[in-house]
Structure 1
């Protein structure tokens, strides 16, 4: 055996010190066994604080005292964190530290009661995301007013205000008006998603007959469906389903789901809308016989700007924001939205509104 070869723990420590992520290993007695340099640097910790064999609670109390766990009594905060550590339950979270860094943390239980803390510095990613969101919101606000003026002027020209126009000019005006409306929808969607994610979009909840709301949505989408040769069936329950919802926002969700179902359906097929009260809430289902979705697209379906190249056949490419807005609106209703889909068969979107949001069971 080579007596000059480094021992295995030292080799592991040296390897960990070359990683960008921070790691700390805690043993079954809640004492620190191992850590790397990135862990110290991310948290601005003095090396002496993490002596091998030192209590993890000494480390936790130090972070609480300097404000890393937010406002409140440091002793209480430290005890709460300590209870989580002692439970040995896996967990993850994200927090802005007192030094301004945004750290994503993961607690990973291991064999023999050991516990691994894993830290990732996500400050750059979160800062870039915030700047992007602020830029989108600012640009959207600046575009809204001139777009409204342009769209209004084009509407007047289409209506003949200002005199008759030649056929070729009328066609150009129609194209310009159609695209100005598309840009307006994009701007409105951007503003909606910004307000939803920042929590500044107002909601007014009131008890409503969900069946009547679905009928109103169908009435609005019906002309579009007829244009594409799609029939829409509304299947209501035997009894009314009353839920406390924001009418305009839930109508926005249903219009989006219905227009998507029509857009991606084959001419001559049917779209079904079902309403089923159950023991725990109200379920709305929108069922189409379209092309369905790929597994890859389904995974990112409710994220911003998610699009699949399916709308090009009818020239109906959207903003890629509609379903992200739907999910945020349903989240604000304490509900859930999900999809069952199969390529070549179709998709079923389910919206579940729980009774504890205000739904009134009439059993």
Structure 2
């Protein structure tokens, strides 16, 4: 059969589309990794700025506690106001150390930090002095000092410093948040556009492949219909031709000289070969379409084998090979199973005609590949209580290892000369395999060149509980 092939241009287009789709997917993955890394970096920056803002606000709260405790004690003289002051005074140094690790502080020059430390030290000094005056000289002296010492002005300057730092951190926080939002939006657009484009490419490629598959199926259907039709149409005139050749060969139409007799014999042999090819093609077509009918019967396997050997004995003699049925042979090359000889009561459910076809194919195949004077052995054994096995063994050249995977393929020949040398169609083993499987069996072979081949098939052994065809 002629196989359908894709045009080179279409094949290149499909390959290019698939490569482009893979490239886009890889690029999208790489872009996704980059965006993920940038989002993580932005998230870390946002987290850092939030921590910085929290530290600045905490430092401002500590300064407020310091100022509130100082002023409350100066105005009221009650020691209870010194408690928040003392707590704030104890936390101030630690808060200041934390504040100095904020990038906004570390990024500035040392003069800025020095100025901040000077203001902070001055504010603490003023607070300490005001509290000391209140304790020693009373409220009036402390109140006058509170107004003149400059504590409020110093506190305002500290608040401006901290406010500027907090504003700067909030600006950076907003910038990184917007950057992360842009990256996320950009990533969604890239992934959406990329996924849409890849889907479009895959859809176009899939439609192209489906179209090719449908076209190929149409061509295969046309080929099968053509072969079936031609085979049917050839069978009738071929039968007439073979009938005429038989009449000529038998001498009914008159005596023929030796040369004419030889030509009629050659024509008849080739006609028979063509008839076998047509029959094989029609059998394959019927098997595939499910139109090949089977007449199921429960028959003794031993009887079927004896009939098959008897029926194929003339062919074996014609090609110079001895054909024997050995019921005692229990070994199948390449298969290691415990076994026993088959008995008269061992039944199989088969179509006797199709079983005979299977045996004829295997025996003729073994005979054709056996040397002159060789021997083909047919044997059977009981594998177990469920399976019976038939084997056909020859002592020919064996099947080349590189060809063994294609033994049951259609029109398969081990080499280009086999068909001419043996006269086979290359369909016999394909039909045999299909027939065995239709009879619920399995088939296989073992061959180690140059030590011959053994083809075997197994069929279910019929028992009272066995499934039967209807």
Q: TM-score range by the shorter chain?
A: 0.5 to 0.7
Distance 1:359 1:268 in 2: 45
Report the Cα offset of residue 254 of structure 1. 0.4
Matched, 1:239 2:243: no
Q: Which protein is richer in strand relative to its size? A: 1
8 Å Cα contact 2:378/2:391 also seen in 1: yes
Distance 1:359 1:188 in 2: 37
Report the Cα offset of residue 194 of structure 1. 0.4
Distance 1:255 1:209 in 2: 18
Give ranges in structure 2 of 5+ residues lacking alignment: 1-16, 24-193, 328-340
- CA 1:41/1:163 → structure 2, altered by over 3 Å: closer, same or farther? same
Residue 228 of structure 2: which of 137, 140, 145 is its match? Answer: 137
8 Å Cα contact 1:242/1:360 also seen in 2: no
1:170 is aligned to: 261
Matched, 1:256 2:374: no
8 Å Cα contact 1:234/1:272 also seen in 2: yes
TM-score, normalised by the number of residues in structure 2: 0.52
Report the Cα offset of residue 256 of structure 1. 0.6
- CA 1:358/1:306 → structure 2, altered by over 3 Å: closer, same or farther? farther
Deviations, residues 297-328 of structure 1 (Å, cap 9, x unaligned) = 21111111111238659842211111111011
Bigger CA radius of gyration: 2
Distance 1:290 1:145 in 2: 37
2:424 is aligned to: 318
Matched, 1:202 2:275: no
Distance 1:294 1:228 in 2: 23
8 Å Cα contact 2:21/2:202 also seen in 1: no
1:64 is aligned to: none
Cα root mean square deviation, aligned: 3.1
8 Å Cα contact 2:342/2:381 also seen in 1: no
8 Å Cα contact 2:388/2:461 also seen in 1: yes
Matched, 1:305 2:411: yes
Matched, 1:41 2:207: no
1:283 is aligned to: 389
Distance 1:122 1:336 in 2: 31
1:273 is aligned to: 378
Distance 1:144 1:357 in 2: 41
Deviations, residues 84-125 of structure 1 (Å, cap 9, x unaligned) = xxxxxxxxxxxxxxxxx986xxxxxxxxxxxxxxxx963333
- CA 1:142/1:15 → structure 2, altered by over 3 Å: closer, same or farther? same
- CA 1:337/1:310 → structure 2, altered by over 3 Å: closer, same or farther? farther
Report the Cα offset of residue 271 of structure 1. 1.3
Distance 1:359 1:282 in 2: 16
8 Å Cα contact 1:244/1:359 also seen in 2: no
Distance 1:320 1:14 in 2: 39
Give ranges in structure 1 of 5+ residues lacking alignment: 1-12, 20-32, 45-100, 104-119
TM-score, normalised by the number of residues in structure 1: 0.66
- CA 1:350/1:38 → structure 2, altered by over 3 Å: closer, same or farther? farther
Q: Counterpart of 2:422 in 1: which secondary structure?
A: coil
8 Å Cα contact 2:386/2:461 also seen in 1: yes
Matched, 1:212 2:264: no
2:321 is aligned to: 230
Report the Cα offset of residue 250 of structure 1. 0.9
Q: Counterpart of 1:337 in 2: which secondary structure?
A: strand
Deviations, residues 195-242 of structure 1 (Å, cap 9, x unaligned) = 011110101110011111111111122122223332222122351221
Distance 1:14 1:349 in 2: 45
Q: Which protein is richer in helix relative to its size? A: 2
8 Å Cα contact 2:228/2:282 also seen in 1: yes
